[in-house]
Amino acid sequence: MIAYDVNTVQSVAGKVVIVTGGGTGIGKIYSQRLAQAGARVVLADIAGEAAEAVALGIREAGGEAIAIRTDVIDAAAVQTMVDQTIAKWGRVDGLINNASLMSVLERGDWFKIDPDEWDRVMAVNLKGIFLCCRAVYPHMKAQGGGRIVNISSSRIWAGNPNRLHYTTSKAGVIGLTRALAREVGDDKIGVNAITPGFTESETQMASSSANYVAGRDLSRSFKRPQYPDDLVGAVMFLLSDASAFITGQTINVDGGQAMH
């Protein structure tokens, strides 16, 4: 039998969590809410100034956070980010692979996608996850476990068109999650994913027309907009010990639009 203290297993207090893309968009909300819940947060973001501003706000509110400018497709930069995390707090308990190339991508026909843009999307959305997982792995293994949460997209369930490279990359995240979960299970490292629906984050709304946003809620069971905070509970659950026997899984968080 495993001793179960609900106040302990559902908590992220004291955990060291890296959030890639943690200074902007949905990642900013992850960082802020994790810090409010007592986690020590590393905001790893290519937008270094934005990440530092969020980290400063967290610290001023009494939380613990550092910002490290990180390009997730640069293996050396990712390794430096993890090394600085270890130097600061001595461990890595959680990794949220949230950094993604999406909002700057135009919606359009698949055959008009530039091959270089295709490669860039795959690099950020898939290679970036691989590099971050690889960098934290030795530390999680040595400390006896950890939790990795990969952010995919609910687009994969419906096969949404007009950003074929983005949808394809997010489908790849699920394959990576499942295979990696089997590879690191013996090291007590859990690897799971979530698939957010269309979320009204600052970056998403900046790249979406009013016509595109209109009517997005009607196909959901919960007919209202989805906000970044709607994703926080699932992420925290997967980072906490409450999900200690869950790995290789995908939780869909889209208000009941797609069901699987």
Query: For residue 106, which amino acid is it?
Result: E
CB neighbours of residue 131 within 10 Å: 24
User: Residues 4, 30, 137, 166: which is the catalytic one?
Assistant: 166
Residues ≥6 apart with Cβ < 8 Å to 223: 217, 255
212 is catalytic: no
Among all residues, which ones are annotated catalytic? 166
